[in-house]
Each structure stands twice: as structure tokens, then as C-alpha cells.
Amino acid sequence: MPVVKSNWVKKTLGACLAFSFSTLLISSPFVSTTVLAHAEHGSEGGIPTVSAKAKLPKGLSLQVVKTNAYQFALATDGQQRVEILGEDKRAFLRFDRDKLYADLNATGWHRSRQPGGGPIPERLKDNPKLKPNWVLLDKQPGYGWYDPRLIKEDLAHFNLAMVANGKPISVRIERIEAEPMTGYWRPLLVNEPEFTGLNAMVPGLSGNNFMLSRMGTAKSEFQVLDDQGAPFLELREDGVWLNSMHAWASSVELFHSPGTEQAPWVKVSETGTVTYADPRLNKKPVKTSETGSWVIPVKQKEGEQQNLLKGELKWQTIVEQVN
């Protein structure tokens, strides 16, 4: 299904995934190494995708996204009433305009809390048809949740059942073969930080991760600036802080507690080191023969002096080894 490029879709998807992780990964008592065990699986039989033929009502956008594992992400325009049904055909999530509810007595809710299916409480195993217990999770028009069927590699397709504004809908989810990988864009840092006690590096061969460290020799605290010169990360003496109200807060891939307009800065690291996803490293050239460029401005918090960390994006062709 083509991704609708509406402002409400972009804004809601980022928020719903950030909220789903704060709910599923931080507050869930069931999270363990089992989550990571599933993260490497799920795509050998093809990539799970919403069928291109799926028809959703206006104001809804459904995608399968890859975070630590495949999960659904539903965004609405805040004017819809939608219920998500589990494999047992019982609703476990409800979107009522901008309010999000969960039925704590539905097995689907507990199954949705881990990639391979979270454990079902004993009380529901003995009585799976308990009276619904709907509780308000948050005020937001979207959410991201796991579905164990997304990582069943031998399951070629299945239907996600939902009810949108009183009308039953069946959305086909199918696996498609990934295009063969011929190469990748490699980000390279071409200069060193000028500030004493500041280290920077690109930690991987591909992707848009960037790592900054404030060392013990640093004489000041540092701010990482966006393209308009506004700070969104701060490397302080007591750790790394994120401006949770910044437009990039949901895309830097840092787990954080929600802030407020009065107190937007939240701590994301107890140490002086942070690895985050910087959107500027994703600005790829149109042609693989071209070299892209990116700049990450860093300034001393108490001063105006800036250090521009500059880099390149180069296409690396994968050469097949012939024996």
C-alpha cells in the first residue's frame, strides 16, 4: 500500500512508534532477552507488507515497519473510531478519535507486547472470555504494536481484522521478496572535532547512526544543533539530554520518557556518550555515481563558537566473490 504523505501520517507515525516502545519495552514486565531473540528473524520468507490492493478508509494509514522487529504502525487523523482484532477475533485495541484504549482481558493485548507473542496470564488461559476491561492508555491518534504472525516466515499471507467506524475490514498482509542488495551508502566523517574533550565517529558501515562522546577532559558542555541552529541534544556533565519537544525527537531512535513544554529536556544517557540516528546522514544523492555531503553543527553550550562536523556519503558496490 503506498504510504500517504500527509502531515498527519508523518507526525502520528513517529509519535505512535515512540509511544509503543515506551509502553511495550519500558513499562512491560514481560520484556526479556526473548525480544532480542526474535529481532533477527521474520524476513527469510519475504518481507511482511500491507498488500498494495488493501483499501483503508480515508483518515487511516497502516504500515508494517521494522524497529527491533516487525510491527504494525497505525496512524489516524484523530477523527476515527477503530478497533483492532486479535487472532481470536476479539478487539484488544481501540482508537476513539485521539484516545487510545486497551482491553486488558483480551489475549490479543498480551500477545501484542512482544514480537513473537507475549505470555498470556493464567487468569485468561482459564477463562479467555472474561468481560472486557478497557483502560485508557494515552491521548494520541496512533500506535505501534507487535503481531506474532509477522515473524512466522512460513506464513505467506494472513488477514489483519479491524473495525473502522462500525464497518468490518480485513487487511491482507503478504510477504514480498526483497530486491537483491547490490551495494549500500556509506557515511564517512572527514574532519575531527575541534573542541577539547569531544569525540565523534560513524559507528557503522551504513545507516545514519552517529556517535558523540564528551570526555573527562572536556572543559565545557556541548549542544548538537539542527539545520536551523536549534539544539536538540546536549552532552552535559551528568549525561546526555534530549529535547523531547523537538521535531526530530521521535526519529533519533533514543528511548526516552515524555517531557513537557515546561520541562522538555529528558535524560537519555547516564554517560557522556550517545549514539543516535541523525536524519542528515540519510540525505542520499540521486545517482550512485555521486558523492553526498552532510554537516552536523556542534557548539559549546555557554558560548557561540560552533564546530562543523562534516562528512560524505559514498556508494559502496558489493562485489560478488567468484571462486
- For residue 183, which of 114, 85, 284 has the smallest C-alpha distance? 284
Given a cut of 50, whether residue 82 has pLDDT beyond it is: yes
Tens digit of each residue's pLDDT (9 = 90 or more) over 225-268: 999 999 999 999 999 999 999 999 988 988 888 889 999 999 99
Lateral strand order in the sheet of 209-214? 198-201, 209-214, 273-277
Q: Is residue 60 part of a domain?
A: yes
- Please check whether residue 82 is in contact with residue 95, taking contact to mean a CB–CB distance below 8 angstroms: yes
Q: Is residue 268 part of a domain?
A: yes
On whether both 233 and 121 belong to a single domain, the answer is: no
Beta bridge partners of 225: 231
Q: Is residue 121 part of a domain?
A: yes
In the predicted model, what is the mean pLDDT of residues 51-77?
A: 88
pLDDT of residue 213: 96
Tens digit of each residue's pLDDT (9 = 90 or more) over 44-60: 668 899 998 888 888 88
On whether both 71 and 143 belong to a single domain, the answer is: yes
In the predicted model, what is the mean pLDDT of residues 277-286?
A: 93
- Report helix, strand or coil for 111: helix
Given a cut of 70, whether residue 26 has pLDDT beyond it is: no
**Residue 321 confidence class, pLDDT cut points 50, 70, 90:** low
109 contact partners, CB below 8 Å, separation of at least 6: 86, 92, 93, 102, 103
In the predicted model, what is the mean pLDDT of residues 74-103?
A: 92
- Among candidate residues 133, 152, 176, the one where a domain is terminated: 176
Most confident of 171-185, 250-264, 288-302: 288-302
Q: Is residue 2 part of a domain?
A: no
Tell me the HSE value of 222 on the side-chain side, using a 13 A CA sphere.
30
On whether both 155 and 301 belong to a single domain, the answer is: no
List alpha helices for the chain, DSSP H.
Answer: 7-21, 33-39, 107-111, 122-126
- For residue 150, which of 241, 70, 59 has the smallest C-alpha distance? 70
- Among candidate residues 156, 176, 196, the one where a domain is terminated: 176
Tens digit of each residue's pLDDT (9 = 90 or more) over 104-162: 999 999 999 988 888 999 999 888 889 999 999 888 778 899 999 998 888 899 999 99
- Please check whether residue 154 is in contact with residue 45, taking contact to mean a CB–CB distance below 8 angstroms: yes
- In the numeric block, which cell numbers belong to residue 251? 526519529
On whether both 120 and 219 belong to a single domain, the answer is: no
pLDDT of residue 44: 66
In the predicted model, what is the mean pLDDT of residues 26-45?
A: 38
List alpha helices for 29-84, DSSP H.
Answer: 33-39
- Among candidate residues 145, 176, 207, the one where a domain is terminated: 176
Distance of CA 121 to the CA centre of its chain: 28
Given a cut of 50, whether residue 1 has pLDDT beyond it is: no
pLDDT of residue 301: 94
pLDDT of residue 42: 52
Q: Is residue 323 part of a domain?
A: no
What domain range includes position 242? Answer: 183-317
Tell me the HSE value of 26 on the side-chain side, using a 13 A CA sphere.
11
On whether both 158 and 297 belong to a single domain, the answer is: no
Pairwise CA distance, residues 5 & 19, whole Å: 21
On whether both 187 and 78 belong to a single domain, the answer is: no
Q: Is residue 271 part of a domain?
A: yes
Neighbours of 161 (CB within 10 A): 17
- Please check whether residue 309 is in contact with residue 283, taking contact to mean a CB–CB distance below 8 angstroms: no
Tens digit of each residue's pLDDT (9 = 90 or more) over 190-218: 999 999 999 999 988 888 999 999 999 99
On whether both 129 and 267 belong to a single domain, the answer is: no
On whether both 112 and 63 belong to a single domain, the answer is: yes
- Please check whether residue 139 is in contact with residue 99, taking contact to mean a CB–CB distance below 8 angstroms: yes
On whether both 44 and 116 belong to a single domain, the answer is: yes
pLDDT of residue 23: 42
On whether both 29 and 171 belong to a single domain, the answer is: yes
Q: Is residue 322 part of a domain?
A: no
The dihedral through the CA atoms of 241, 303, 209, 204 has a sign that is negative
pLDDT of residue 3: 32
> How many domains does the structure of the chain reveal?
2
On whether both 172 and 187 belong to a single domain, the answer is: no
Task: Tell me the CA end-to-end span of the chain in Å, nearest whole number.
Answer: 41
On whether both 35 and 167 belong to a single domain, the answer is: yes
Q: Is residue 1 part of a domain?
A: no
pLDDT of residue 25: 34
List, in sequence order, every beta strand (DSSP E) within the chain.
47-50, 60-66, 70-76, 81-85, 91-96, 99-103, 134-139, 142-145, 157-164, 167-176, 183-189, 198-201, 209-214, 222-225, 231-236, 239-243, 265-269, 273-277, 292-300, 306-317
